[in-house]
Structure 1
Amino acid sequence: MAAHIFEQPLNERIRACLRLEYLFSRMAQHRLDDSPESALCAILILIEATDVLGRIDVKRELIKELERQQAKLLHMAHTPQVNAEKLHRLLDQQAQLLDQLHRFSGAPGAHLKQNELINAIRQRASIPGALCSFDLPALHYWLSLPASERQDDIEGWLAPLAPITEANELVVQLIRTSVQPAPQRAESGFFQLNLDLGAPYQLIRVIAERNAPYYPEISASKHRVTVRFMQMDRQTGHPYQVNFDVPFELAACQL
Protein backbone atom coordinates (compact mmCIF):
# COMPACT_ATOMS: atom_id res chain seq x y z
CA MET A 1 0.00 0.00 0.00
CA ALA A 2 1.38 3.42 -0.94
CA ALA A 3 2.06 5.53 2.12
CA HIS A 4 2.20 9.21 2.94
CA ILE A 5 4.65 10.04 5.74
CA PHE A 6 4.34 13.04 8.04
CA GLU A 7 7.09 13.96 10.51
CA GLN A 8 7.43 16.05 13.66
CA PRO A 9 10.91 16.87 15.02
CA LEU A 10 11.33 16.91 18.80
CA ASN A 11 14.29 19.27 19.12
CA GLU A 12 15.81 22.24 17.31
CA ARG A 13 18.75 20.25 15.95
CA ILE A 14 16.52 17.80 14.07
CA ARG A 15 14.16 20.61 13.05
CA ALA A 16 17.06 22.34 11.27
CA CYS A 17 18.18 19.03 9.73
CA LEU A 18 14.73 18.38 8.27
CA ARG A 19 14.47 21.90 6.90
CA LEU A 20 17.84 21.57 5.19
CA GLU A 21 16.87 18.18 3.79
CA TYR A 22 13.64 19.66 2.40
CA LEU A 23 15.47 22.56 0.76
CA PHE A 24 18.21 20.43 -0.79
CA SER A 25 15.63 17.93 -2.02
CA ARG A 26 13.87 20.77 -3.86
CA MET A 27 17.24 21.95 -5.12
CA ALA A 28 17.92 18.49 -6.58
CA GLN A 29 14.64 18.62 -8.48
CA HIS A 30 15.39 22.02 -9.98
CA ARG A 31 18.90 20.90 -10.99
CA LEU A 32 17.27 18.30 -13.24
CA ASP A 33 15.64 21.09 -15.23
CA ASP A 34 17.88 23.47 -17.21
CA SER A 35 15.23 26.18 -17.70
CA PRO A 36 15.87 29.75 -16.52
CA GLU A 37 12.89 29.47 -14.14
CA SER A 38 14.43 26.45 -12.39
CA ALA A 39 17.78 28.25 -12.19
CA LEU A 40 16.07 31.15 -10.41
CA CYS A 41 14.26 28.74 -8.07
CA ALA A 42 17.60 27.08 -7.29
CA ILE A 43 19.09 30.43 -6.24
CA LEU A 44 16.09 31.25 -4.05
CA ILE A 45 16.34 27.84 -2.37
CA LEU A 46 20.06 28.37 -1.85
CA ILE A 47 19.28 31.68 -0.12
CA GLU A 48 16.75 29.93 2.13
CA ALA A 49 19.31 27.26 2.97
CA THR A 50 21.92 29.85 3.98
CA ASP A 51 19.30 31.48 6.23
CA VAL A 52 18.74 28.13 7.96
CA LEU A 53 22.51 27.62 8.24
CA GLY A 54 22.84 31.07 9.78
CA ARG A 55 20.23 30.60 12.49
CA ILE A 56 22.12 27.92 14.39
CA ASP A 57 25.67 26.59 14.17
CA VAL A 58 24.70 23.69 11.90
CA LYS A 59 28.26 22.42 11.55
CA ARG A 60 28.66 22.13 15.32
CA GLU A 61 25.22 20.53 15.72
CA LEU A 62 25.94 17.96 13.01
CA ILE A 63 29.28 17.10 14.61
CA LYS A 64 27.57 16.61 17.97
CA GLU A 65 24.84 14.44 16.46
CA LEU A 66 27.25 12.34 14.41
CA GLU A 67 29.44 11.76 17.47
CA ARG A 68 26.38 10.83 19.56
CA GLN A 69 25.13 8.42 16.89
CA GLN A 70 28.63 6.98 16.46
CA ALA A 71 28.81 6.21 20.19
CA LYS A 72 25.43 4.47 20.02
CA LEU A 73 26.50 2.36 17.05
CA LEU A 74 29.78 1.40 18.71
CA HIS A 75 27.79 0.23 21.71
CA MET A 76 25.62 -1.89 19.40
CA ALA A 77 28.69 -3.56 17.86
CA HIS A 78 28.66 -6.21 20.58
CA THR A 79 25.01 -7.16 19.94
CA PRO A 80 24.82 -10.61 18.29
CA GLN A 81 22.06 -9.80 15.77
CA VAL A 82 23.84 -6.75 14.34
CA ASN A 83 25.05 -6.90 10.74
CA ALA A 84 28.77 -6.29 11.37
CA GLU A 85 29.61 -5.41 7.75
CA LYS A 86 26.85 -2.81 7.49
CA LEU A 87 27.76 -1.40 10.89
CA HIS A 88 31.43 -0.99 9.92
CA ARG A 89 30.42 0.79 6.70
CA LEU A 90 28.28 3.22 8.69
CA LEU A 91 31.04 3.85 11.21
CA ASP A 92 33.54 4.49 8.39
CA GLN A 93 31.09 6.90 6.74
CA GLN A 94 30.56 8.74 10.02
CA ALA A 95 34.31 8.98 10.62
CA GLN A 96 34.88 10.42 7.14
CA LEU A 97 32.10 12.98 7.54
CA LEU A 98 33.32 14.00 10.98
CA ASP A 99 36.79 14.54 9.55
CA GLN A 100 35.38 16.68 6.72
CA LEU A 101 33.28 18.75 9.12
CA HIS A 102 36.19 19.33 11.50
CA ARG A 103 38.29 20.51 8.55
CA PHE A 104 35.47 22.71 7.22
CA SER A 105 36.76 26.28 7.54
CA GLY A 106 34.45 29.19 8.23
CA ALA A 107 30.69 29.23 8.56
CA PRO A 108 28.67 27.09 6.12
CA GLY A 109 27.24 29.31 3.38
CA ALA A 110 29.57 32.24 4.13
CA HIS A 111 30.97 32.05 0.59
CA LEU A 112 27.53 32.91 -0.80
CA LYS A 113 27.37 36.13 1.20
CA GLN A 114 30.37 37.34 -0.80
CA ASN A 115 28.51 36.98 -4.10
CA GLU A 116 26.99 40.30 -5.22
CA LEU A 117 24.40 38.72 -7.50
CA ILE A 118 23.07 36.44 -4.76
CA ASN A 119 23.08 39.32 -2.26
CA ALA A 120 21.09 41.49 -4.67
CA ILE A 121 18.52 38.71 -5.16
CA ARG A 122 18.33 38.16 -1.38
CA GLN A 123 17.59 41.86 -0.80
CA ARG A 124 14.83 41.99 -3.43
CA ALA A 125 13.27 38.55 -3.04
CA SER A 126 11.01 39.52 -0.12
CA ILE A 127 9.42 42.36 -2.12
CA PRO A 128 6.46 41.19 -4.24
CA GLY A 129 7.39 41.15 -7.93
CA ALA A 130 10.79 42.76 -7.31
CA LEU A 131 12.82 40.23 -9.31
CA CYS A 132 11.65 41.51 -12.69
CA SER A 133 14.10 42.78 -15.29
CA PHE A 134 14.00 46.49 -14.45
CA ASP A 135 14.69 45.71 -10.76
CA LEU A 136 17.52 43.24 -11.32
CA PRO A 137 18.95 43.42 -14.85
CA ALA A 138 22.04 41.47 -13.71
CA LEU A 139 19.83 38.54 -12.71
CA HIS A 140 18.05 38.49 -16.05
CA TYR A 141 21.36 38.69 -17.88
CA TRP A 142 22.54 35.66 -15.85
CA LEU A 143 19.29 33.81 -16.60
CA SER A 144 19.85 34.45 -20.33
CA LEU A 145 23.23 32.68 -20.27
CA PRO A 146 23.49 29.16 -21.76
CA ALA A 147 22.07 26.52 -19.42
CA SER A 148 25.50 24.88 -19.08
CA GLU A 149 27.00 28.11 -17.71
CA ARG A 150 24.17 28.58 -15.22
CA GLN A 151 24.54 24.95 -14.12
CA ASP A 152 28.30 25.45 -13.62
CA ASP A 153 27.65 28.47 -11.40
CA ILE A 154 25.06 26.63 -9.31
CA GLU A 155 27.37 23.63 -8.92
CA GLY A 156 30.14 25.98 -7.80
CA TRP A 157 27.88 27.59 -5.19
CA LEU A 158 26.76 24.20 -3.89
CA ALA A 159 30.13 22.43 -3.81
CA PRO A 160 31.40 23.96 -0.52
CA LEU A 161 28.19 22.78 1.19
CA ALA A 162 28.69 19.12 0.20
CA PRO A 163 30.02 17.98 3.63
CA ILE A 164 27.04 19.63 5.35
CA THR A 165 24.57 18.07 2.92
CA GLU A 166 26.07 14.58 3.20
CA ALA A 167 26.31 14.69 7.00
CA ASN A 168 22.75 15.97 7.24
CA GLU A 169 21.46 13.14 5.02
CA LEU A 170 23.18 10.47 7.11
CA VAL A 171 22.02 11.91 10.44
CA VAL A 172 18.39 12.02 9.30
CA GLN A 173 18.54 8.60 7.64
CA LEU A 174 19.85 6.89 10.78
CA ILE A 175 17.21 8.51 12.97
CA ARG A 176 14.40 7.57 10.60
CA THR A 177 15.48 3.93 10.42
CA SER A 178 16.17 3.57 14.15
CA VAL A 179 12.79 1.93 14.88
CA GLN A 180 10.10 0.07 12.98
CA PRO A 181 6.68 1.76 12.72
CA ALA A 182 3.94 0.19 14.83
CA PRO A 183 0.24 -0.04 13.86
CA GLN A 184 -2.06 2.32 15.75
CA ARG A 185 -5.65 3.52 15.60
CA ALA A 186 -6.95 7.05 16.10
CA GLU A 187 -10.44 6.79 17.59
CA SER A 188 -12.69 9.42 16.01
CA GLY A 189 -9.52 10.86 14.47
CA PHE A 190 -7.69 11.34 17.80
CA PHE A 191 -4.63 9.52 19.16
CA GLN A 192 -2.33 10.18 22.10
CA LEU A 193 0.82 8.40 23.21
CA ASN A 194 2.75 8.98 26.43
CA LEU A 195 6.52 8.94 25.95
CA ASP A 196 9.19 7.42 28.16
CA LEU A 197 10.90 10.43 29.73
CA GLY A 198 14.20 8.58 29.87
CA ALA A 199 14.36 7.85 26.14
CA PRO A 200 16.10 10.26 23.70
CA TYR A 201 13.22 10.65 21.24
CA GLN A 202 14.09 12.88 18.30
CA LEU A 203 11.46 12.41 15.61
CA ILE A 204 7.84 11.30 15.32
CA ARG A 205 6.76 9.71 12.05
CA VAL A 206 3.11 9.11 11.15
CA ILE A 207 2.48 6.86 8.16
CA ALA A 208 -0.96 7.12 6.58
CA GLU A 209 -2.47 5.71 3.41
CA ARG A 210 -1.40 7.96 0.55
CA ASN A 211 -4.81 8.38 -1.10
CA ALA A 212 -6.78 8.72 2.13
CA PRO A 213 -8.99 11.87 2.34
CA TYR A 214 -7.34 13.08 5.57
CA TYR A 215 -3.98 14.10 6.98
CA PRO A 216 -2.46 14.17 10.49
CA GLU A 217 -1.71 17.20 12.60
CA ILE A 218 1.04 16.17 15.02
CA SER A 219 1.98 17.91 18.24
CA ALA A 220 4.66 16.51 20.51
CA SER A 221 6.63 17.28 23.63
CA LYS A 222 9.01 15.27 25.77
CA HIS A 223 5.96 13.91 27.61
CA ARG A 224 3.51 12.86 24.90
CA VAL A 225 2.55 12.79 21.25
CA THR A 226 -0.88 13.84 20.02
CA VAL A 227 -2.16 13.12 16.52
CA ARG A 228 -5.40 14.50 15.10
CA PHE A 229 -6.53 13.38 11.66
CA MET A 230 -8.04 16.23 9.71
CA GLN A 231 -10.02 16.75 6.55
CA MET A 232 -10.04 19.97 4.59
CA ASP A 233 -12.78 21.95 2.95
CA ARG A 234 -10.95 22.58 -0.31
CA GLN A 235 -13.05 25.63 -1.17
CA THR A 236 -12.28 27.50 2.06
CA GLY A 237 -9.12 25.65 3.19
CA HIS A 238 -10.78 25.13 6.60
CA PRO A 239 -9.59 21.98 8.42
CA TYR A 240 -11.80 19.87 10.69
CA GLN A 241 -11.19 16.68 12.64
CA VAL A 242 -12.61 13.47 11.16
CA ASN A 243 -15.36 11.65 13.07
CA PHE A 244 -14.29 8.08 12.26
CA ASP A 245 -11.50 5.76 13.38
CA VAL A 246 -8.27 5.99 11.38
CA PRO A 247 -5.72 3.15 11.17
CA PHE A 248 -2.14 4.32 10.74
CA GLU A 249 1.43 3.52 11.73
CA LEU A 250 3.62 5.51 14.11
CA ALA A 251 7.35 5.50 14.76
CA ALA A 252 8.81 7.32 17.76
CA CYS A 253 12.40 7.49 16.53
CA GLN A 254 15.35 7.49 18.88
CA LEU A 255 19.00 6.60 18.42
Structure 2
Amino acid sequence: MISYEYPLNERIRTLLRLEDLYRKLGHFHRSDAPQDHHVALITLFEVLEVAGRADLKVDLMQELERQRQILMSFRNNPEISEEALSGALYEIEQASASLLAMAGKIGQYLRENEWLMAIRSRAAIPGGVCEFDLPSYHFWLNRDPAARRGDLEAWIQPMLPIRDGLTIVLRLLRASGHPEPQLASNGSYQLTMSGRSAQMLRLRLASSEAAIPEISANKYALSIRFMRPETIARPRTVERDVAFELTFCSL
Protein backbone atom coordinates (compact mmCIF):
# COMPACT_ATOMS: atom_id res chain seq x y z
CA MET A 1 0.00 0.00 0.00
CA ILE A 2 1.08 3.60 -0.67
CA SER A 3 0.00 6.26 1.82
CA TYR A 4 -0.71 9.89 0.96
CA GLU A 5 -1.20 12.49 3.69
CA TYR A 6 -2.91 15.83 3.23
CA PRO A 7 -2.72 18.45 6.01
CA LEU A 8 -5.78 20.61 6.60
CA ASN A 9 -4.05 23.43 8.47
CA GLU A 10 -0.72 25.21 8.39
CA ARG A 11 0.52 23.78 11.68
CA ILE A 12 0.22 20.16 10.52
CA ARG A 13 1.69 21.13 7.14
CA THR A 14 4.78 22.48 8.93
CA LEU A 15 5.12 19.34 11.07
CA LEU A 16 4.91 17.06 8.04
CA ARG A 17 7.54 19.07 6.19
CA LEU A 18 9.86 18.95 9.18
CA GLU A 19 9.31 15.22 9.61
CA ASP A 20 10.37 14.66 6.00
CA LEU A 21 13.46 16.87 6.44
CA TYR A 22 14.53 15.17 9.67
CA ARG A 23 14.14 11.77 8.00
CA LYS A 24 16.45 12.84 5.16
CA LEU A 25 18.86 14.43 7.61
CA GLY A 26 19.12 11.18 9.57
CA HIS A 27 19.77 9.22 6.39
CA PHE A 28 22.44 11.38 4.79
CA HIS A 29 24.49 12.29 7.85
CA ARG A 30 25.16 8.62 8.63
CA SER A 31 26.94 8.14 5.29
CA ASP A 32 30.70 8.48 4.67
CA ALA A 33 30.46 10.16 1.27
CA PRO A 34 31.21 13.91 1.14
CA GLN A 35 28.31 14.39 -1.28
CA ASP A 36 25.90 12.90 1.28
CA HIS A 37 27.32 15.11 4.04
CA HIS A 38 26.78 18.11 1.77
CA VAL A 39 23.13 17.08 1.33
CA ALA A 40 22.82 16.62 5.12
CA LEU A 41 24.11 20.14 5.72
CA ILE A 42 21.78 21.67 3.13
CA THR A 43 18.90 19.73 4.70
CA LEU A 44 19.84 21.10 8.12
CA PHE A 45 19.57 24.62 6.66
CA GLU A 46 16.08 23.71 5.40
CA VAL A 47 15.11 22.48 8.88
CA LEU A 48 16.35 25.79 10.27
CA GLU A 49 14.27 27.70 7.71
CA VAL A 50 11.03 25.79 8.29
CA ALA A 51 11.32 25.55 12.09
CA GLY A 52 12.10 29.24 12.43
CA ARG A 53 8.95 30.46 10.66
CA ALA A 54 6.60 30.12 13.63
CA ASP A 55 6.62 29.68 17.38
CA LEU A 56 6.96 25.98 16.84
CA LYS A 57 8.44 25.12 20.22
CA VAL A 58 5.53 26.64 22.14
CA ASP A 59 2.96 24.96 19.86
CA LEU A 60 4.59 21.56 20.37
CA MET A 61 4.81 21.98 24.14
CA GLN A 62 1.15 23.01 24.37
CA GLU A 63 0.02 20.05 22.27
CA LEU A 64 2.18 17.61 24.25
CA GLU A 65 0.73 18.93 27.50
CA ARG A 66 -2.80 18.58 26.13
CA GLN A 67 -2.09 14.98 25.16
CA ARG A 68 -0.53 14.32 28.56
CA GLN A 69 -3.69 15.51 30.29
CA ILE A 70 -5.81 13.28 28.04
CA LEU A 71 -3.65 10.25 28.84
CA MET A 72 -3.70 11.03 32.55
CA SER A 73 -7.49 10.73 32.48
CA PHE A 74 -7.06 7.06 31.53
CA ARG A 75 -5.31 6.22 34.80
CA ASN A 76 -6.90 3.27 36.64
CA ASN A 77 -8.95 2.36 33.56
CA PRO A 78 -9.05 -1.48 33.52
CA GLU A 79 -9.19 -1.50 29.71
CA ILE A 80 -5.93 0.44 29.40
CA SER A 81 -2.51 -1.13 30.00
CA GLU A 82 -0.87 0.78 32.86
CA GLU A 83 2.56 -0.15 31.51
CA ALA A 84 1.80 1.22 28.03
CA LEU A 85 0.19 4.33 29.52
CA SER A 86 3.17 5.00 31.78
CA GLY A 87 5.54 4.56 28.84
CA ALA A 88 3.58 7.03 26.71
CA LEU A 89 3.43 9.58 29.54
CA TYR A 90 7.16 9.24 30.18
CA GLU A 91 7.93 9.78 26.50
CA ILE A 92 5.77 12.92 26.40
CA GLU A 93 7.30 14.28 29.61
CA GLN A 94 10.85 13.70 28.33
CA ALA A 95 10.07 15.42 25.03
CA SER A 96 8.46 18.37 26.81
CA ALA A 97 11.44 18.75 29.15
CA SER A 98 13.86 18.72 26.19
CA LEU A 99 11.82 21.37 24.37
CA LEU A 100 11.68 23.52 27.51
CA ALA A 101 15.47 23.29 27.81
CA MET A 102 15.94 24.79 24.33
CA ALA A 103 17.02 28.36 25.04
CA GLY A 104 16.34 31.27 22.71
CA LYS A 105 15.26 31.16 19.10
CA ILE A 106 15.31 27.79 17.38
CA GLY A 107 18.68 27.24 15.69
CA GLN A 108 20.19 30.52 16.89
CA TYR A 109 23.54 28.78 17.47
CA LEU A 110 23.61 27.94 13.75
CA ARG A 111 22.82 31.53 12.73
CA GLU A 112 25.71 32.73 14.88
CA ASN A 113 28.18 30.46 13.04
CA GLU A 114 29.54 32.71 10.26
CA TRP A 115 31.16 29.79 8.44
CA LEU A 116 27.88 27.89 8.22
CA MET A 117 25.93 30.98 7.22
CA ALA A 118 28.41 31.65 4.41
CA ILE A 119 27.75 28.13 3.08
CA ARG A 120 24.00 28.63 3.46
CA SER A 121 24.15 31.88 1.51
CA ARG A 122 26.24 30.40 -1.32
CA ALA A 123 24.10 27.23 -1.45
CA ALA A 124 21.14 29.35 -2.57
CA ILE A 125 23.06 30.03 -5.81
CA PRO A 126 23.09 27.18 -8.37
CA GLY A 127 26.60 25.71 -8.23
CA GLY A 128 27.53 28.29 -5.62
CA VAL A 129 29.51 26.01 -3.32
CA CYS A 130 32.23 25.03 -5.76
CA GLU A 131 35.75 24.75 -4.34
CA PHE A 132 36.80 28.12 -5.83
CA ASP A 133 33.82 29.81 -4.14
CA LEU A 134 34.27 28.23 -0.70
CA PRO A 135 37.74 26.69 -0.36
CA SER A 136 37.26 26.21 3.40
CA TYR A 137 34.14 24.17 2.73
CA HIS A 138 36.02 22.14 0.10
CA PHE A 139 38.64 21.41 2.76
CA TRP A 140 35.93 20.29 5.21
CA LEU A 141 34.37 17.96 2.63
CA ASN A 142 37.79 16.33 2.17
CA ARG A 143 38.29 15.70 5.88
CA ASP A 144 38.01 12.25 7.41
CA PRO A 145 34.36 11.09 7.25
CA ALA A 146 34.25 10.50 11.01
CA ALA A 147 35.38 14.10 11.64
CA ARG A 148 32.71 15.47 9.29
CA ARG A 149 30.07 13.28 10.90
CA GLY A 150 31.13 14.52 14.31
CA ASP A 151 30.64 18.12 13.19
CA LEU A 152 27.24 17.31 11.70
CA GLU A 153 26.09 15.58 14.87
CA ALA A 154 27.17 18.58 16.95
CA TRP A 155 25.11 20.88 14.69
CA ILE A 156 22.11 18.54 14.56
CA GLN A 157 21.90 17.50 18.22
CA PRO A 158 20.43 20.75 19.63
CA MET A 159 17.63 20.55 17.03
CA LEU A 160 16.54 17.02 17.96
CA PRO A 161 13.99 18.01 20.65
CA ILE A 162 11.89 19.50 17.83
CA ARG A 163 12.08 16.19 15.95
CA ASP A 164 11.18 14.16 19.05
CA GLY A 165 8.23 16.40 19.90
CA LEU A 166 6.72 16.42 16.41
CA THR A 167 7.24 12.65 16.10
CA ILE A 168 4.99 12.09 19.13
CA VAL A 169 2.35 14.56 17.93
CA LEU A 170 2.20 13.08 14.43
CA ARG A 171 2.11 9.52 15.75
CA LEU A 172 -0.86 10.37 17.95
CA LEU A 173 -2.52 12.21 15.07
CA ARG A 174 -2.15 9.25 12.71
CA ALA A 175 -3.50 6.86 15.34
CA SER A 176 -6.57 9.02 15.97
CA GLY A 177 -8.50 7.96 12.89
CA HIS A 178 -9.91 4.73 11.50
CA PRO A 179 -9.51 3.87 7.80
CA GLU A 180 -12.71 3.48 5.83
CA PRO A 181 -12.95 1.80 2.40
CA GLN A 182 -14.08 4.17 -0.35
CA LEU A 183 -14.58 4.05 -4.12
CA ALA A 184 -13.83 6.84 -6.56
CA SER A 185 -16.31 6.45 -9.37
CA ASN A 186 -14.59 6.99 -12.71
CA GLY A 187 -11.58 8.42 -10.89
CA SER A 188 -13.48 11.08 -8.88
CA TYR A 189 -14.65 11.25 -5.27
CA GLN A 190 -16.58 13.99 -3.46
CA LEU A 191 -17.74 14.21 0.13
CA THR A 192 -19.62 16.89 2.06
CA MET A 193 -17.89 17.39 5.39
CA SER A 194 -21.19 18.05 7.26
CA GLY A 195 -19.46 19.38 10.36
CA ARG A 196 -16.80 16.66 10.41
CA SER A 197 -13.55 18.19 11.71
CA ALA A 198 -10.10 16.91 10.83
CA GLN A 199 -6.53 18.14 10.86
CA MET A 200 -5.18 15.67 8.32
CA LEU A 201 -6.42 13.19 5.73
CA ARG A 202 -4.69 9.87 5.12
CA LEU A 203 -5.35 8.06 1.86
CA ARG A 204 -4.05 4.57 1.07
CA LEU A 205 -3.91 2.92 -2.33
CA ALA A 206 -2.75 -0.50 -3.43
CA SER A 207 0.82 -0.29 -4.74
CA SER A 208 -0.34 -1.90 -7.96
CA GLU A 209 -2.89 0.89 -8.56
CA ALA A 210 -1.46 3.28 -11.18
CA ALA A 211 -3.19 6.38 -9.86
CA ILE A 212 -2.14 9.51 -7.97
CA PRO A 213 -4.63 11.39 -5.78
CA GLU A 214 -5.07 15.14 -6.19
CA ILE A 215 -6.80 16.29 -3.01
CA SER A 216 -8.71 19.50 -2.41
CA ALA A 217 -10.42 20.07 0.93
CA ASN A 218 -11.88 22.72 3.20
CA LYS A 219 -14.31 22.68 6.14
CA TYR A 220 -17.27 22.24 3.77
CA ALA A 221 -16.23 19.64 1.20
CA LEU A 222 -13.60 17.14 0.14
CA SER A 223 -12.74 16.40 -3.47
CA ILE A 224 -10.30 13.77 -4.75
CA ARG A 225 -9.31 13.24 -8.37
CA PHE A 226 -7.16 10.26 -9.30
CA MET A 227 -4.67 11.06 -12.04
CA ARG A 228 -2.59 8.83 -14.27
CA PRO A 229 1.08 8.91 -13.21
CA GLU A 230 2.39 10.44 -16.42
CA THR A 231 5.98 11.67 -16.41
CA ILE A 232 6.05 13.18 -19.90
CA ALA A 233 2.56 14.02 -21.11
CA ARG A 234 0.05 16.18 -19.24
CA PRO A 235 -1.53 14.13 -16.40
CA ARG A 236 -5.02 12.87 -17.17
CA THR A 237 -7.83 11.70 -14.90
CA VAL A 238 -8.06 7.94 -14.43
CA GLU A 239 -11.15 6.74 -16.30
CA ARG A 240 -12.05 3.81 -14.07
CA ASP A 241 -13.23 3.15 -10.53
CA VAL A 242 -10.47 3.37 -7.93
CA ALA A 243 -10.73 1.66 -4.53
CA PHE A 244 -8.89 3.32 -1.65
CA GLU A 245 -8.88 3.79 2.13
CA LEU A 246 -9.60 7.19 3.67
CA THR A 247 -8.83 8.23 7.25
CA PHE A 248 -9.80 11.49 8.97
CA CYS A 249 -7.22 12.32 11.65
CA SER A 250 -7.72 14.83 14.45
CA LEU A 251 -6.21 15.37 17.89
TM-score by length of structure 1 reads 0.92
- Does the 8 Å CA contact 2:206/2:244 hold for their aligned counterparts? yes
Counterpart CA distance in 2 for 1:127 and 1:135 is 11
Aligned equivalents of 2:191, 2:78: Cα separation in 1 = 31
Which position in structure 1 is the counterpart of 2:170?
A: 172
Structure 1 or 2: more strand by fraction: 1
Structure 1 position 117, deviation (Å) = 2.3
Q: 1:23 aligns with which of 6, 21, 24?
A: 21
CA gap 1:72/1:188 in 2 versus in 1, 3 angstroms: farther
Percent of matched pairs sharing the same residue: 38
What residue ranges of structure 2 are gaps of 5+ in the alignment? none
Q: Which residue of 2 aligns with 1:247?
A: 243
Report the Cα offset of residue 70 of structure 1.
2.2
Instruction: Find the aligned partners of 1:195 and 1:110 in 2 and give their Cα distance.
Output: 42
Distance 1:186 1:123, change over 3 A: same
Distance 1:246 1:76, change over 3 A: farther
SS at match of 2:236: strand
Which of 130, 140, 143 matches 2:141?
A: 143
Counterpart of 1:155 (choices 132, 153, 156) is 153
Alpha-carbon distance in 2 for matches of 1:21, 1:233? 27
Distance change (3 Å), C-alpha of 1:243 and 1:198? closer
CA deviations 1:152-176 (Å, max 9, x no partner) are 0000001111211111111111111
Letter in 2 for 1:112: L
Count of aligned residue pairs for this structure pair: 251
Go from structure 1 to structure 2 and tell me whether the alpha carbon gap of 1:31 and 1:60 turns closer, same or farther (over 3 Å shift): same
Matched, 1:118 2:116: yes
Deviation per residue, 1:177-197 (Å, 9 max, x gap): 112211111111111233353
SS in 1 for 2:60: helix
Give unmatched runs, 5+ long, in structure 1.
none
Q: Which moved more, 1:217-226 or 1:157-166?
A: 217-226
Which position in structure 2 is the counterpart of 1:133?
Answer: 131
Within 5 A, what are the aligned runs for 1:1-255? 3-77=1-75, 81-195=79-193, 197=195, 199=197, 201-236=198-233, 238-255=234-251
Supply the distance in 2 between the matched residues of 1:240 and 1:225 (Cα, whole angstroms): 20
Offset of 1:76 from its aligned partner? 4.5
What's the secondary structure of 1:240's corresponding residue? coil
Query: 1:202 Cα shift?
Result: 1.3
C-alpha separation in 2, matches of 1:77 and 1:231: 49
Q: 1:179 to 1:84 in 2, by over 3 A?
A: farther
Tell me by how many angstroms 1:74 deviates: 3.1
Once the two structures are superposed, residues 185-220 of structure 1 have per-residue CA deviations (whole angstroms, 9 ceiling, x without a partner) of 111111123335364x21110001123211111122
Q: TM-score, normalised by structure 2?
A: 0.94
Say what the alpha-carbon RMSD is for the aligned residues: 1.7
